[in-house]
A and B are shown apart, each in its own frame.
Chain A
Amino acid sequence: MKPSPDSKMWSSMMWSSVKYLERRVLHAVLLLLGASILSFLFSSLAPGSFFDEMKLNPQISPETVAALRSQYGLDQPWPVKYFRWVKSVLHGEWGYSFAYNQPVRSLLVLRARNTLLLTTLAMLMAWLIAVPVGVWVASRRGHWEDQLTSASTSFLLSVPELVLALGLLYLVIRTHALPVGGMVSTGFDRLGFWGQVSDLAAHLIVPVTTLVLASLPILIRHVRASLIEVLQAPFIQAARGHGISRSRLLFRYALPAAANPLISLFGLSVAGLLSGSLLVEVITGWPGLGPLLLEACFSRDIYVAIGVVMASTLFMILGSLLADIMLVAADPRVRTDHA
């Protein structure tokens, strides 16, 4: 359905899609609020705090610990703590890290950037591989290629990211093919621009490959399933009857018709990717949100932990919001349905 040249109708359609997106954004904000309240609820259920370890130290008096606790507001009930935290978020501080002695935001930004780099790359690669493979396999339904792919996806599905990452690391260390650990080699600053890029890329290969392998099976299965459904539709039969070439038929006619559930899946796949990236980051030493959260867990740095949880929730919500926007852009029915 092409937009009608009638400008009145066009503007009304624009208006309804803006309305729709507005509702989705509001929804996202409410979800974020809910997630933050939940985090604080959980944190208040737990006994103990960052300063409890100090109590074991005979040189620090109990009064000092109590004073520190009240200074950071840890002796307050959780709603008070929550409102203080919201205030600090509005000031752009995101709470205070006890272990690092600085506002959480300065810690988060860099780590979040690294995680984002890793997950976006992995997501792009995974979709770039999954779509053609899924389409191809759907068109060869029941043949040996299809059966081989389905066997390997169900095997891959049952290999946890943890094992995938360890296995890949084993291969890489064994063959000395790639640098291992961290994001860049020592002496990164002395490299030229292209040297820096290639060094970064070499460090990215293991974590990205792990994430791609972990998310591929679900993506391929969904692409295949939704394409098979479309391929049975009468308009495909008609197009085939008109003698349209196979690749054009698959990618130009069938794929756009199958796109809707895939766009929704895109939003959902962000969740799995983020959880996977936590593991992969810790195992391969990628300085993202994962190692930061783990450190915060061990030192009981609760605002850092909450900050990381909020950042990852934000990414997930942004992912599903992006999917909503793409859906509006791709499918006119969504615009009018929700008007």
Chain B
Amino acid sequence: MITSKKKSKKKPIAAAIFLLALHLAILLAGFVAPYQPAEQNRDFPYAPPTRIHFVDSRGHFHLRPFIYQSVARPDSIYEYTETRDQEYPVRFFVSASEYKIAGRLPFHRHLFGVDDPAHIFLAGTDNYGRDQFSRILYGGQISLAAGLLATAISLLLGACVGCVSGFYAGWIDESAMRVAELFLVLPWLYILLAVRAFLPLHISPAQTFLLLIAVIGTIGWARPARLVRGIVLSARSRKYVIASRGFGASDAYILRRHVLPHTYGTLLTQAALLVPQYVIAEVTLSFFGLGLSEPMPSWGNLLANLQQYNVLVSYWWMFAPALALVLVSLGYLTVANAFHQQLQSGSIE
């Protein structure tokens, strides 16, 4: 019993730390990624992940990991061998291609890299020889931003509707909940695609991005609205709320001071559940070619390479973005689970 409790505390904390690290790495993609996302190496299409070595060909152990330069095999396409004559040590905080921090400050330090003729591709390359590891990091900026922003929209809409609906009750409540029911019953992926169908196909990437986020976020307001409504409804009739009304408090004051704080836990849990769902929504749309288009990387775009059966079968490292996606979902769902349990154990008293 005690061990299980301990475990249930440790796992979500580990998940939260992992999520934090992942978000930080993606936020600082320019620094963590060794290359630019659109940087092409036409000599290395579909190169497999670079092997990291510690022991060289003479059997000596190196404390600093190193790699060998790989070259294309002359008699084949997309096959590579390592040339073992020279080691290229993995260097940290190297100076390489310039990127901008926060879109402004020019900077050219990277977390790691190797000396020039060699390349380090931690997750292999795609058909243009672009480094997948860098692209996953940069693509994560788009996919995660989409998930987070859409979640914010959903929760904001849901909280507003839920508050008004629960607090004022009556016909407002009745009609809002009927509409919420409608939104809950709609098959959201179909709607998402259909709405995308109604939007013009060729618009600027920034516009597409914002429109998609708006659509994804708007469709999901119903569940948080219903949950918030339930909480507000029960909080509204508490004695201290009635007392504060007796002292002449305004509706806005009561909502902000006495009612809304009850909903924070639920909203947080919903956020942790919605983010992975919306990240997956963006990935799905981009996978189908209805989201952001090349050369902008997003996890969906990267996965879209797998739609070709020969890529799917021959180059297993093209699955790397899927791993990132699974890890993000796993992290968020673990945290959401912990929030949920905390909330349930708290509400018993």
Query: Which residues in A have some Cβ–Cβ distance to B below 8 Å?
Result: 31, 34-35, 38-39, 42-43, 45-48, 52, 142, 154-155, 157-160, 162-163, 166-167, 169-170, 173-174, 180, 271, 274-275, 278-279, 282-283, 289, 293-294, 296-298, 300-302, 305-306, 308-309, 312-313, 315-317, 320
Contact = CB atoms under 8 A, between A and B. Distances in A.
Contacts of B312: 166, 169-170, 173
B111 interface: no
A313 B185 contact: yes
Contacts of A52: 200
A269 B316 CA distance: 32
Interface string B183-203: 001111111011111111100
Nearest to A307: B194
Given A42-B195, A43-B198, A158-B329, A309 B190 contact: yes
B290 to A, nearest CB: 6
B322 A305 contact: no
A297 B330 contact: no
A296 B201 CA distance: 12
Contacts of A279: 189, 284
Given A46-B199, A166-B312, A169-B312, A155 B330 contact: yes
Contact of A297 (B186, B193, B284): B193
A220 B185 CA distance: 22
Given A173-B313, A293-B193, A159 B198 contact: no
Contact of A154 (B190, B325, B333): B333
Nearest to B182: A34
B334 interface: yes
Contacts of B276: 158
B194 A309 contact: yes
B129 to A, nearest CB: 22
A31 B185 contact: yes
B314 to A, nearest CB: 10
B137 to A, nearest CB: 19
Contact of B313 (A155, A174, A274): A174
A317 B164 CA distance: 28
Contacts of B46: none
B326 interface: yes
Contacts of B200: 46-48, 52
A294 B194 contact: no
Categorize the interface residue count of chain B. 35 or more
B139 to A, nearest CB: 15
A156 to B, nearest CB: 10
Given A38-B182, A297-B196, A166 B319 contact: yes
B322 A275 contact: no
Interface of B: 4, 179, 181-182, 185-191, 193-201, 276, 280, 283-284, 287-290, 303, 306-307, 309, 312-313, 316, 319, 322, 325-326, 329-330, 333-334, 337
Contacts, number: 140
A226 to B, nearest CB: 16
A316 B185 contact: yes
B288 A282 contact: yes
A226 B181 CA distance: 24
Contacts of B333: 154, 157-158
- Chain A: interface secondary structure? helix
Given A166-B319, A305-B194, A313-B190, 20 more contacts: A31-B182, A35-B185, A39-B194, A154-B334, A158-B329, A160-B283, A173-B312, A174-B313, A278-B193, A293-B194, A296-B197, A297-B196, A298-B289, A300-B197, A300-B201, A301-B197, A302-B198, A305-B198, A306-B194, A313-B187
Contacts of A306: 194
A287 to B, nearest CB: 16
Given A297-B197, A302-B198, A166 B190 contact: no
A159 to B, nearest CB: 5
A170 B289 CA distance: 21
B187 A316 contact: yes
The 10 closest A-B CB pairs, nearest first, are: A46-B198, A158-B329, A297-B197, A275-B189, A158-B330, A163-B322, A312-B187, A305-B194, A34-B182, A305-B197
A180 B198 contact: no
A318 B191 CA distance: 18
A309 B325 contact: no
Q: Which of the listed residues B185, B195, B280, B306 has the most CB atoms from chain A within 10 Å of its own CB?
A: B185
Nearest to A298: B201
Nearest to B11: A154
B329 A159 contact: yes
B280 A160 contact: yes
Contacts of A180: 309
B194 to A, nearest CB: 4
A157 B333 CA distance: 8
A283 B284 CA distance: 11
B329 A167 contact: no
A323 to B, nearest CB: 12
Contacts of A31: 181-182, 185
B10 to A, nearest CB: 14
A119 to B, nearest CB: 11
Q: Which of the listed residues A157, A166, A279 has the most CB atoms from chain B within 10 Å of its own CB?
A: A166
Contacts of A294: 193, 288
A163 B325 CA distance: 9
Contacts of A45: 198
